[in-house]
Structure 1
């Protein structure tokens, strides 16, 4: 790690950015002690800052050391020692989180605030956040649960009026209920176990249950089951066994999570997400991304559904959610810019309206998902492999190149350097060549125009495109990378080989299937044969019903249609160049 000397900077030219360090409070006694120490000795450990240029009143902002920066102000300091480092917003937030979590004064609530920010930066990828913070999944889930605390609960935990166990129990309740129960806990000095016992005594209206209440009708814990036998009762049926109620609700949510996987690409429980860390994907409006981009986002690995756990809505599945807010923000900005451009350039028509009064549709410069989900990517690579097979069989130089590189990879670990070095020099590669980079070497060899034609090697080379990839490592598919390069090399259009089938449809989400049907003309053809609005009726049902209808409808020819997610450019390749007509070829 590079050693960097601290510089003395004017305190008044340094600002705090709450988006980098989200601390909203601090333990008063410990903070007052820090102020006294800085007043007497100054700041011993330099703060970390980064340059800023968006405000003439400041030159830098704090990345790590906000507490020391605030205490320096309160202590009356004019200058502070600081390390200066240029970094992006996301880098700054990660460094602040890592720096803060090793400090003894960081509270669980503050850890939760850092986890929320990093989870949003990393598109709700829980594994990535766990790796960055070196946390277990249990700790991450616990801190995300604390992110649902109301301000009063957060302050009470910060001031050590309650323990983390109290806060975790309260955070499972609606925010509107937390403050009132908190006051009782503090007033009665309830332990965590006493708090749990008291919360379990709360009754629930059986009529509001989201699960099957057949067993509840005759249950002894149902206050309304035998109300006629008592002079006084609670009246309406109320469950007095919260343990059973909570167990049935959790089972319901678990089932809904499993069921939702069949309809959506990604599914999260509401409790495993930070509040406001995801957004509903819409084509138009203030948060719209445009129709073309919305269709592309339906195939993204960050597009899916949320299963709610809030009282009264337990088990509700809300689809069409984007879990990558930074990406969504960028796409929204692009769409707004396109709308503004359209409004400024349209002659003699109202803003956003084409001639004839029809609302104009701005075209996205590059409508594609940030990260295509694996099932769609697998369909794309399978399509490219089938198309590239013919390219290999038709080009003996390419087939021979594949065979040569394959033999090189098989042999190189067993060859002495004096034998391997001349081979690598002739191929134009080094010993550090990775399998995923082999396609470039194969193309270079193919362009040499090898004359030794070995037909059987062509078949072997074509077979290499159908290697079985481990599902977890599919994103690093060797054959997928080959297929992309071969498609570009042979200028093959994947649209000529695509056939609408069950594999593709089941890899797609419902919103993506609907978009494909509309884009290809299937919806129009279906309505013409089945009757007006027949297709719209299909869209209201389950994805499985829609898939069966698409496969059963033989009056529409899908030939020539290619889903946007299967475009070479979306999968990391380049679009094939237009073929020259015979009249233009010299």
Structure 2
């Protein structure tokens, strides 16, 4: 039997442990067990670049062994070559699936898993082995204040208490928590208390005009005494919540013209976004940051959290895993030994960056403000969103069909090539049958080869040619995208003959990306001083202006993002 590998306990570095609370009585039992029997189940570690190992899972066993035997104890280990993000996922799931983990710790760990899954809660629930309702209820706890989470962690309050607290601001929670603990209020008692707390109208983010005369406005009855509606509260929580949601959606809708991704963030979405920055411990680097502006995961967040309801956070990255990898790559590149040439280039770049930073800082200081690194970031390219991809593939198919359909010999040649390369399955019957029915005023004999062959033999030669072209058109429409690209390249398809800037395309992209389009096509130069004025208007007005620049020749110009 192969012996379990071990590492000196003191040589294992502690990693990030989702579990923060260790029940003293249970830990004492484990320490005694390890003292007598040793550690029976190996811990999971991962090798680091410097040759050491980091603990991934097994924090309680590590602590018990350290207390029972000290740093020289030969700790049984399972070594797994995991990167930082895989290690975090393993640690989270390993801990969260243990039944003695506090709901508050489960909430924090589950929120990180959701972040690793790019906000996909269904995927996160599957990884955790939870139902979606269980996941959502845990994530809701992320709106609890630190004091409430700590009280739940240490079992000072129950899960029901925390779930009720989560609906209110952290300030309200911290005021009420000591009372609940001191007076040993039950969950039912707390529920009655919180049901009496109305929704604050002054804090509402929606238009309160209709609230003035509403019977659910607590200030309505007091107006005869001269009290302002600003002091009122709403006692109809359902109506209040509905209006709040509509306002959140309206705020998000207003940002979608500017950013590729706009999300309303809820409790539990803590790790699904991060502020994109170039420098510092979380910086991706200046060049990478510019590239990120064009990413589909770049955008803005609208807060749906009680403490910051309706607040907008711009310049957000919604792929935190990718962001962390970019940060790690930047830090690694900075630590790597440089050649003399690289050092010289770095020095030159640093000098320029320092000069630019100094100028920015000086200008900001003169205005009495701090320099901002995220104000109105602009795309540097048009992002290849799903909508843009769908648009350009449709353009390729339409353009290729148009040229091939005009040349019968070419249609026959391409049809033979499609069949010869095993892609005959891409030829759909429906378009051909439609042509058949229109040309000979009869439906084809579906499933009856003999009848169809006889009918085909009776067709006049010009009708057969038309059906052959229809087959080629169906093939072009049906082949997959990589094969379509091959066809376009072989054909040397000139998209400039088939496309010019239109409203349909501009509606697919953001205003920031429209500036990229304007630069690439030469529209910015043609618009001159009017360019900035135009982009201060709504998206619809910008589109109209870009499509009606006087004296500008739109033909013969194709965007890079549309080319194959």
Report the TM range for the smaller structure's normalisation. Answer: 0.7 to 0.9
CA shift, 1:44, in A, is 2.0
Matches within 5 A, 1:534-553: 534-553=530-549
Cross-structure match for 1:96: 91
**Alignment counterpart, residue 162 of structure 1, candidates 157, 160, 164:** 157
Cross-structure match for 1:515: 516
CA–CA distance in 1 between the matches of 2:216 and 2:103?
37
CA contact (8 A) 1:403 1:461 kept: no
CA–CA distance in 1 between the matches of 2:356 and 2:299?
37
CA deviations over 1:428-455 (Å, ceiling 9, x no partner): xxxxxxxxxxxxxxxxxxxxxxxxxx99
Asked if 1:502 corresponds to 2:503, the answer is yes
CA shift, 1:115, in A, is 2.5
CA deviations over 1:94-134 (Å, ceiling 9, x no partner): 32233223321222222223333333333333343233334
Cross-structure match for 2:302: 307
TM superposition score normalised by structure 2: 0.73
CA shift, 1:313, in A, is 4.9
Cross-structure match for 2:37: 41
CA deviations over 1:453-489 (Å, ceiling 9, x no partner): x99656523433324xxxxxxxxxx532322333344
Asked if 1:23 corresponds to 2:19, the answer is yes
Q: Does the C-alpha gap of structure 1 residues 169 and 521 become closer, same or farther in structure 2, counting only changes over 3 Å? A: farther
CA shift, 1:11, in A, is 0.9
Q: Does the C-alpha gap of structure 1 residues 554 and 492 become closer, same or farther in structure 2, counting only changes over 3 Å? A: same
**Alignment counterpart, residue 71 of structure 1, candidates 37, 59, 64:** 64
Q: Secondary structure at the match of 1:82?
A: strand
**Alignment counterpart, residue 51 of structure 1, candidates 27, 47, 53:** 47
Asked if 1:278 corresponds to 2:273, the answer is yes
Matches within 5 A, 1:105-504: 105-203=100-198, 206-227=201-222, 229=224, 237-239=231-233, 241=235, 243=237, 244-257=239-252, 264-271=259-266, 274-275=269-270, 277-281=272-276, 287=283, 290=286, 294=290, 297=292, 300-311=295-306, 313-329=308-324, 344-345=344-345, 351-352=351-352, 372-389=384-401, 390=403, 394=410, 397-405=413-421, 409=425, 457=468, 460-467=471-478, 479-490=480-491, 492=493, 497-504=498-505
CA contact (8 A) 2:301 2:314 kept: yes
**Alignment counterpart, residue 60 of structure 1, candidates 47, 53, 68:** 53
Q: Does the C-alpha gap of structure 1 residues 409 and 510 become closer, same or farther in structure 2, counting only changes over 3 Å? A: same
CA–CA distance in 2 between the matches of 1:273 and 1:563?
40
CA shift, 1:375, in A, is 0.7
Q: Secondary structure at the match of 2:177?
A: helix
Q: Does the C-alpha gap of structure 1 residues 545 and 151 become closer, same or farther in structure 2, counting only changes over 3 Å? A: same
CA–CA distance in 1 between the matches of 2:138 and 2:128?
12
CA deviations over 1:194-213 (Å, ceiling 9, x no partner): 32332343355534422122
CA deviations over 1:274-321 (Å, ceiling 9, x no partner): 325423447899947657964x64553323332212447533444442
CA shift, 1:224, in A, is 3.4
CA shift, 1:323, in A, is 0.3
User: Which blocks of at least 5 consecutive residues in structure 1 are unaligned?
Assistant: 360-366, 412-453, 468-477, 569-586
User: Which blocks of at least 5 consecutive residues in structure 2 are unaligned?
Assistant: 360-379, 428-464
CA shift, 1:261, in A, is 5.6
CA shift, 1:64, in A, is 2.0
CA contact (8 A) 2:201 2:234 kept: no
Q: Secondary structure at the match of 1:49?
A: strand
CA–CA distance in 2 between the matches of 1:149 and 1:230?
38
TM superposition score normalised by structure 1: 0.71
CA contact (8 A) 1:299 1:508 kept: no
Q: Does the C-alpha gap of structure 1 residues 158 and 551 become closer, same or farther in structure 2, counting only changes over 3 Å? A: same
Asked if 1:7 corresponds to 2:5, the answer is yes
Cross-structure match for 1:435: none
Q: Does the C-alpha gap of structure 1 residues 289 and 391 become closer, same or farther in structure 2, counting only changes over 3 Å? A: farther
CA contact (8 A) 1:23 1:110 kept: yes
CA contact (8 A) 2:43 2:55 kept: yes
Q: Secondary structure at the match of 2:269?
A: coil
Q: Secondary structure at the match of 2:501?
A: coil
CA shift, 1:230, in A, is 5.9
Q: Secondary structure at the match of 2:19?
A: coil
Q: Does the C-alpha gap of structure 1 residues 266 and 355 become closer, same or farther in structure 2, counting only changes over 3 Å? A: closer
Structure showing greater radius of gyration is: 2
Q: CA RMSD in A?
A: 4.2
CA–CA distance in 2 between the matches of 1:143 and 1:376?
37
Cross-structure match for 2:454: none
CA shift, 1:53, in A, is 2.8
CA–CA distance in 2 between the matches of 1:223 and 1:27?
47
The structure 1 segments of at least 4 consecutive aligned residues displaced by more than 6 Å after TM superposition are: 282-286, 332-338, 340-343, 346-350, 353-357
CA–CA distance in 2 between the matches of 1:289 and 1:554?
41
CA deviations over 1:7-36 (Å, ceiling 9, x no partner): 222111111211xx4333333333333223
**How many residues in Structure 1 have an aligned counterpart in Structure 2?**
493
CA–CA distance in 1 between the matches of 2:121 and 2:149?
23
